[in-house]
Chain A
Amino acid sequence: MASLVGSRVERKEDKKLLTGRGKYTADVNFVNQTFAYFVRSPHARAQIKKVDTTKAMKAPGVVSILTGADIANDKIGGLIAGWRIKSEDGSDMKVPAHPPLANDIVNYVGDHVAVVIADSLDEARNAAELVKVDYKILKAVVDTKSAMGSDQIYKDIPKNLCFDWLLGDRAKVKEAFEKADKIIKIDLINNRVIPNAMEPRAANADYNPSTEEITLYTTSQNPHLARIIISAFNGVAPENKLRVIAPDVGGGFGSKIYPYAEEVVCSWAAKKIERPVKWVADRTESFLSDCHGRDHVTHAELAVKNDGTFLGFKNETIANIGAYASVFGTVTPTYLFGPCATGVYKMPAAYTNVKAVFTNTAPVDAYRGAGRPEATYTIETLVEKAARELGMDPAEIRMKNFPTQFPFQQTLVHSVDSGDYVASLNKAMEVADYKGFEKRKRESANKGKLRGIGLCSYFEACGIAPSPVVMMLGCGIGLWESAEVRFNPTGNVTVFTGSHSHGQGHDTTFAQIAADQLGVPIENIEISHGDTDKGPFGYGTYGSRSLTVGGTAIVKACDKIIAKGKRVAAKMLEASVDDVEFSNGEFVVAKSNKKKTIGEIAFACYLPGTYGEVKSPLPEGEEPGLKETSFFDPANFSFPAGSHICEVEVDPDTGETKVVKYTAIDDFGTIINPLVVEGQVHGGIVQGIGQALYENCHYDETGQLVTASYMDYTMPRADNFPEFELGFTCTPATSNPLGTKGCGEAGAIASPPAVMNAVMNAIGTEISMPATAEKVWKACNQNKKKNSEAA
């Protein structure tokens, strides 16, 4: 049987999704279901003086109205911050209480005040308008940079400071800077963006009074995590009485990793009223209440020698984490950000200091890349600036500082097991025709356009695990992954994974792996995920971890199946276990050339009756059945890397910037399905270009979200892009047997700096993201003015 790993296998999940037979949470309905509509704060910061539901309760169809007081009465716990970060002075981070329905204060526009539950959505929505909330409006804190000097939002949190965290050695950095020929400085804003998975969040909770079990359907990347949080922290139901199902999920990008207030409230309310409670966000609710991404203000400096050698790096960042500390909200700007901020370079000394501040805005959490795009944007725009100031080619300065020996001990945390940064940049320059840029620039100039080229070389730490390391760094959970490989008696296979697919194609990629391991045709393998009652506990999908951690768990479980299969085959074939070889789905005894297929072995394991002369196929003490579970916790993160090169054309008369050429060369280690991997890269690049050129979350000074619909928030669309050129280099990961590194986030990590370096190269001015037409036009005009004044 030909190996499926490495082939462009068409996706198994596509047929249902293409024919309208996908089942998303909003498509799930229960008999006797009610509908929830949330009363949300219209103010960014206010005291709740009174919530009056009298009139609303009398409205037609209303079943129940629940408020923060009910949450408190029922002792429903608050939403949690999953990572405990310590400040430089050793003190613990400070986090405010975050009840699922606000009790006395609201802290951002969209914060949850009450839920109206009615027989129909229209009735719930109409009654919600009758809920009278008496607010005392307080001055909102909105701006990231000035948050520490603004009004104090929470009584116990001075300067609105969650933590003041340091990674690295300030003294060594000071020493390095003293030896420098030149210090390159940069001030950056990493703009706040809104994830915008196309499927709005939704929940439908059903309570069964006879079993006392709640079944929660939800739009989750991580149903097991939702179950443990709603159970152990919110206290809605014990884990064994809470089943969480994440059916087809329409994208996540980080925003659906953890449960939100709505899932907690729907589950709790369903139990209270003993009827199913369904909630589906409209798009504006998604804009207001999904966790946002990025939002850093950074000052960074690079110490260099005149020949371009890097000596030291410092990074002072203020990270806005919004009104509450969300589950991954505190790790995103720290351990996911700081270690990667020195980029793909040998950097003798470095530190990253992050001050995380609370503001009256939606919580900020992981968004595609989570911390690593912010890190890469910082170092890669700084390196580009260093090249400009030293008069060096941007490729040359990068090459000069790449490590060439692996494993490479990166400055701040990671021991990078493998990579070849020189190879990927060389290949990118070749594919992008780097040498031909000047000619293309002249051609653009002839059309009145400014052409610019920008590079980005990145590495990232993903395959998010290993549990001992992440728990040492403050993570409240382990991050291993599970798999159960279950042979059915007739020889087909169901593989359960604790990860979750919401576009990544696990149904196919994981089946390719299992098919190769077991020698079973791919069409006879079913991948099952997303239901806490079916498979073993797992940690879901984010941080480009599913294949590297979860895929390896499948390999390990298959190994156990084969080991048992060998023992059974030995008995059936009357041979010693050591003489049984397994390949292509067959157990073979070379000496006698007798064989059994894995299907025959599975059948025998389930029906251990008489087989010819053999009374029972099961060796003495062997249990019947053929099903194995594995929990894999890798020894290290994985480290994808690569180089992207972008070319833009700017129209100086309108400020419009167009990406006209984009080359991505990535090293993801072993690739299981190139079709799927290319799709991941395309999507990531577009999200990154979206951040660089179009997308921007804007709150006004009172904390109103101005960009709360697709009329106001610019989503990247089909006509914004050229065709991207993709290529790969490969150094297999050594921390997992597949050799994979993860590919989900790379595009979004590499493209913002590549695009912005190209824009700045085109217009010759530093400019912040997003490089909108207005901003670029103003910069071009200022340049014109300066030039004419000089003349």
Chain B
Amino acid sequence: MKKISAEVNGKKITKEVPDHTLLSVFLRDILNLTGTHVGCDTSQCGACVVHVDGKSIKSCTAFAADVNGSRITTIEGITKNGKMHPMQEAFKKLHGLQCGFCTPGMVMSAIDLLQNNKKPSDVEIREWLEGNICRCTGYQNIVAAVKEAASKM
């Protein structure tokens, strides 16, 4: 067993979990933060993307033990005082989601892009999101939403 102390969505938590607990399992099954989704088992689909110390990672490919002492933000943690993050607002405005399953990972990934590149081109957005698979939208409205968010952030 491993003792994990971390700050998750602004709250300090301490939990003891089996050594092999994945971060995605830790978030979903231990902390009940089920907004983070698991769509594959090979680190390909990106539905599980969260931020660890501000950077996007695939939570299905990290152990909970690896993030001990870190600051973790999930999709539940970016809405402040009931107001959605500009990226969430842009996805809503431009229909950047359909079934919503890939959406949390897509949004968390896109926010990280804008942290490093304030005005990305279409090509840069598409290349950045290459690690997030969406089966519904055809990506076009996602790209538009990321550009829209960039103009608001």
Residues of A within 8 A of B (CB): 10-11, 13-15, 17-24, 26-27, 196-200, 248-251, 253, 282-284, 502-505, 675-676, 678-679, 681-687, 709-711, 715, 717-719, 721, 723-724, 747
Contacts and interface: CB of A to CB of B under 8 A. Distances in A.
A678 B40 CA distance: 28
Determine which residue in A14, A24, A503, A681 has the highest number of CB atoms from chain B within 10 A of its CB, and name it: A14
A721 B140 contact: yes
A788 to B, nearest CB: 36
Contacts of A26: 34, 37-38
B33 interface: yes
A18 B138 contact: no
B95 interface: yes
A718 B129 contact: yes
A19 B74 CA distance: 9
27 contacts: A18-B75, A18-B91, A18-B92, A18-B97, A19-B35, A19-B75, A19-B76, A20-B33, A20-B74, A20-B75, A26-B37, A199-B99, A200-B38, A250-B100, A503-B98, A503-B136, A505-B98, A679-B137, A682-B138, A682-B141, A687-B138, A710-B42, A711-B44, A717-B130, A718-B134, A719-B126, A721-B139
B133 interface: yes
B111 interface: no
Contact of A24 (B76, B101, B136): B101
B56 interface: no
B42 A504 contact: no
Interface string B103-128: 11001000000000000001101110
B37 A24 contact: yes
B47 interface: yes
A718 B142 contact: yes
Contact of B95 (A282, A679, A686): A679
A686 B134 CA distance: 10
B97 A14 contact: yes
Contacts of A14: 91-92, 97, 100
Interface in B1-49: 28, 33-42, 44-45, 47
A249 B127 CA distance: 28
B98 A686 contact: no
B130 A22 contact: no
A719 B101 contact: no
A248 B95 contact: no
Given A17-B103, A19-B75, A20-B76, A686 B138 contact: yes
B59 interface: no
Contacts of A504: 98
A144 B149 CA distance: 48
Contacts of B140: 682, 721, 723-724
Contact of A679 (B45, B123, B133, B141): B141
Nearest to A711: B42
B73 to A, nearest CB: 11
Given A503-B100, A683-B135, A711-B44, A283 B39 contact: yes
Contact of B134 (A24, A198, A249, A711): A198
B151 interface: no
Contact of B35 (A10, A21, A284, A681): A21
Interface string B54-86: 000000000000000000001110010000100
A22 B35 contact: yes
Nearest to A285: B41
A17 B139 contact: no
Contacts of B84: 15, 18-19
Given A198-B45, A199-B37, A682-B140, A718 B99 contact: no
B36 to A, nearest CB: 7
A21 B76 CA distance: 8
B108 to A, nearest CB: 10
B138 A683 contact: yes
Contacts of B100: 13-14, 17-18, 22, 248, 250, 503
A710 B101 contact: no
Contact of B47 (A198, A685, A718, A723): A198
A715 B130 CA distance: 10
Contacts of A678: 95, 141
B136 A676 contact: no
A283 B33 contact: no
Nearest to B21: A122
B40 to A, nearest CB: 4
Contacts of B139: 682, 686, 717-718, 721
Contacts of A284: 41
Contacts of A21: 35, 76
Chain A contact residues: over half helix, strand or loop, or mixed?
A: loop
Contact of B130 (A198, A199, A684, A718): A718
A23 B101 CA distance: 10
Contacts of A710: 40, 42, 44-45, 133
Contacts of A13: 100
Nearest to A681: B138
B143 interface: yes
Contact of B92 (A11, A502, A717, A747): A11
Q: Which 7 A-B pairs have the closest CB atoms?
A: A20-B35, A250-B101, A17-B100, A682-B138, A503-B99, A503-B98, A710-B44
A678 B28 CA distance: 33
A710 B48 CA distance: 15
Contact of A251 (B42, B91, B101): B101
Pick from A24, A251, A687, A718 the residue with the most CB of B within 10 Å: A718
A355 B68 CA distance: 59
B100 to A, nearest CB: 3
B134 to A, nearest CB: 7
B150 interface: no
Contact of A683 (B88, B130, B136): B136
Contacts of A724: 138, 140
Given A17-B99, A18-B84, A283-B41, 7 more contacts: A199-B99, A199-B101, A679-B95, A683-B136, A687-B138, A710-B40, A718-B126
A200 B34 contact: no
A10 B92 CA distance: 7
A19 B97 contact: no
Contacts of B98: 251, 503-505, 679, 683
A357 B102 CA distance: 36
A626 B100 CA distance: 34
B60 to A, nearest CB: 10
A251 B33 CA distance: 21
A14 to B, nearest CB: 4
A561 to B, nearest CB: 30
Most buried by B among A20, A200, A710, A711: A20
A708 to B, nearest CB: 10
Contacts of A19: 35, 75-76, 79, 84, 88
A11 B135 CA distance: 18
Nearest to A27: B34
A10 B35 CA distance: 21
Contacts of B91: 14, 18
B63 to A, nearest CB: 14
Nearest to B131: A717
B79 to A, nearest CB: 5
A747 B130 CA distance: 22
A53 to B, nearest CB: 26
A249 to B, nearest CB: 7
B40 A283 contact: yes
B129 A502 contact: no
Contacts of A679: 95, 98, 136-138, 141
Given A20-B34, A685-B138, A250 B75 contact: no
A442 B138 CA distance: 29
Given A18-B103, A18-B107, A19-B88, A687 B95 contact: no
A710 B84 CA distance: 32
Contact of A11 (B95, B125, B142): B95
B57 to A, nearest CB: 17
B61 to A, nearest CB: 13
